């Protein structure tokens, strides 16, 4: 017989309580690496013991901080927070988890383990959301790629903040359950029929014309023509001219002459902006082409993407749109050099020890710079005080390989003073856009078999097949190679620009006039001499 017989009832009571408190709940969530989503299972174990709250599964600081948010949200929502030992596992445990979107599934897991949520295992719904201390649910990042991955994995629905509902509803055949607070989320799981699901948004339609119009630009007919060619073929362009010539003004009007985003392009752009947290609340799909204009102090990581947990950079945010580099020569040379591979490949690969992220970055580069440090070289009214070595060093900030990837280089002279007081009567953006649309339709009909959308994307044999010049044009190109030293890449880019010029003219073949204009935009004075001879 035991020396202390009164301890037996206590042990039995403790064992009984431990059995009642040892409850496991498992819910489904998701995380994003790069712009790709992967499933995460949130396992919550509530056992008898000293009160504690432990998070495992490689959570980063933003996830570990969810312990305080979850505790306050549960209490302020009118539920009891269990005074026991709580262990939360985010599986798979070998992948680092980041972000605040795990707040909601963790809170619901605790409530499921304590019996408030009737379902302790939820495999058919993906749960996302950041909790406020009062139990409200805030918007989160990366909803669109998570919703697409959930449908691919066979999940029926996604429960998420109301602010992200339209974004997730873009994915067809996936039920979207929007909630505003933790109490609504509990009701949605206990009584699924009591919550109204969000209908898919309307298809993407073009919006009204932008406020910035090319009709406001005075003069600059050559630059306007070059911008039209660049927009029609998706080519890269560099504007060189003195301050106040209108380089920035014209560059900011380029989105107004580009065609509207297709549904596939809108999905790509929306996914990238969603991962970066730049998608406005209540927006389903982006309707306008991106226009990104980073400051010249931007770092190479901010431009191309990266970090410990890779995030898209400015060039990926400009995917299917325009990347404008104002004062290009003022950018750090290392920053400019990292553009070389994305300009050629159309994507960026960020390799890390654990995983590799691939960010799409097929954009139209529009850059502007002064002809010299003071900006007045070649100006007829203002005197340039720069020495030849200073001009050479300034222009040398753009390396030869980077210049070789620029399809059009255009000189933008200063606007004559006589035109300052005149009302601009230039061609509006709508007329230019109509010609650009017609040219792109010709490219899509011709290049559908090659899997490209614009002439700038042609590579390898497709360049010669789609841009084959006639005999006079071929002879002109041979002279350009001999006299100007065009590289093989430069030769192909001249051909692609000439093909775009022919598309704008409605021509079936590439002629000498088209090649001559393409050479004029590429190497300026030297090309004009070749054309004249």
- Boundaries of domain holding 289: 214-426
The closest of 309, 310, 410 to 361, measured between CA atoms, is 310
- pLDDT confidence of residue 6: 45
Please check whether residues 411 and 502 belong to one and the same domain: no
Helix (H) or strand (E) segment spanning residue 358: strand 356-360
The closest of 348, 344, 342, 347 to 460, measured between CA atoms, is 344
The closest of 385, 305, 393, 408 to 349, measured between CA atoms, is 305
CATH number of domain containing 287:
3.40.50.300
Please check whether residues 79 and 154 belong to one and the same domain: yes
Q: How many CB atoms lie within 10 A of CB 170?
A: 22
- Whether 435 is in a domain gets the answer no
Please check whether residues 280 and 403 belong to one and the same domain: yes
- pLDDT confidence of residue 462: 85
- Whether 152 is in a domain gets the answer yes
Please check whether residues 257 and 382 belong to one and the same domain: yes
Q: How many CA atoms lie within 13 A of 145 on its CB side?
A: 24
The per-residue b/e assignment along 238-265, b for 16 or more CB within 10 angstroms, e otherwise, is bbbbbeebbbbbbbbbbbbbbbebeeeb
Cβ within 8 Å of residue 84, ≥6 positions away: 21, 46, 47, 48, 49, 51
CATH number of domain containing 509:
1.10.8
The values of phi and psi at residue 322, to 5°, are -125, 135
- pLDDT confidence of residue 160: 93
Residue 467 CB-density burial (10 A; 0-12 exposed, 13-18 middle, 19+ buried): buried
- Whether 205 is in a domain gets the answer no
Distance (Å, rounded) from C-alpha 326 to C-alpha 81? 55
Task: Show which of 161, 194, 227 is a domain's final residue.
Answer: 194
Q: What is the CA radius of gyration of the chain?
A: 30
Ranges of residues in the chain with a pLDDT under 70 are 1-22, 193-211, 417-425, 523-533
Q: Give the tens place of pLDDT for each residue, 86-134.
A: 999 999 988 888 888 999 999 999 999 988 998 888 888 999 999 999 9
């Amino acid at each position: 017989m035991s020396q202390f017989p009164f301890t037996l009832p206590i042990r039995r009571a403790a064992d009984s309580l431990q059995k009642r408190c040892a409850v496991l709940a498992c819910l489904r969530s998701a995380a994003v690496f790069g712009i790709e989503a992967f499933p995460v299972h949130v396992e919550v174990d509530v056992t008898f013991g000293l009160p504690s709250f432990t998070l495992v599964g490689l959570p980063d600081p933003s996830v570990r901080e969810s312990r305080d948010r979850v505790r306050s949200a549960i209490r302020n929502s009118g539920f009891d927070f269990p005074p026991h030992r709580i262990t939360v596992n985010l599986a798979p445990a070998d992948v680092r988890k980041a972000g605040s979107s795990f707040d909601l599934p963790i809170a619901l897991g605790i409530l499921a383990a304590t019996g408030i949520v009737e379902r302790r295992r939820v495999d058919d719904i993906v749960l996302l959301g950041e909790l406020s201390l009062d139990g409200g649910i805030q918007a989160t990042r990366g909803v669109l790629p998570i919703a697409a991955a959930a449908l691919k994995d066979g999940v029926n629905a996604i429960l998420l903040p109301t602010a992200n509902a339209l974004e997730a509803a873009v994915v067809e055949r996936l039920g979207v359950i929007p909630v505003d607070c933790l109490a609504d989320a509990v009701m949605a799981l206990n009584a699924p029929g009591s919550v109204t699901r969000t209908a898919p948004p309307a298809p993407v339609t073009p919006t009204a014309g932008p406020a910035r119009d090319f009709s406001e630009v005075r003069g600059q007919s050559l630059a306007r023509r070059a911008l039209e060619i660049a927009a029609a073929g998706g080519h890269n362009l560099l504007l060189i001219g003195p301050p106040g010539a209108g380089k920035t003004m014209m560059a900011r009007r380029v989105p107004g002459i580009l065609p509207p985003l297709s549904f596939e392009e809108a999905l790509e752009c929306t996914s990238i902006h969603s991962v970066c947290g730049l998608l406005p609340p209540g927006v389903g799909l982006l309707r306008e082409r991106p226009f990104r204009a980073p400051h010249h102090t931007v770092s190479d990581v901010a431009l191309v993407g990266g970090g410990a947990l890779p995030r898209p950079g400015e060039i990926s945010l400009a995917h299917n749109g325009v990347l404008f580099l104002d004062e290009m020569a003022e950018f750090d040379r290392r920053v400019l050099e990292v553009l070389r591979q994305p300009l050629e490949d159309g994507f960026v690969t960020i390799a890390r020890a654990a995983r590799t992220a691939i960010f799409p970055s097929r954009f139209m580069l529009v850059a502007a710079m002064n002809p010299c440090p003071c900006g007045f070289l070649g100006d007829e009214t203002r005197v340039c005080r720069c020495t030849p070595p200073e001009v050479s060093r300034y222009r040398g900030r753009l390396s030869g390989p980077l210049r070789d990837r620029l399809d059009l280089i255009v000189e933008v002279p200063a606007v004559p003073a006589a035109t300052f007081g005149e009302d601009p009567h230039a061609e509006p953006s709508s007329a230019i856009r109509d010609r650009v649309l017609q040219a792109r339709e010709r490219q899509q009909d011709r290049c559908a078999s090659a899997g490209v959308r614009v002439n700038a994307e042609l590579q390898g044999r497709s360049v010669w097949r789609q841009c084959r010049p006639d005999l006079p044009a071929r002879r002109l190109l041979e002279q350009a190679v001999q006299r100007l030293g065009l590289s093989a890449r430069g030769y192909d880019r001249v051909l692609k620009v000439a093909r775009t010029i022919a598309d704008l003219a409605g021509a079936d073949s590439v002629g000498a006039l088209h090649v001559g204009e393409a050479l004029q935009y590429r190497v300026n004075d030297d090309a004009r001499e070749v054309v004249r001879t």
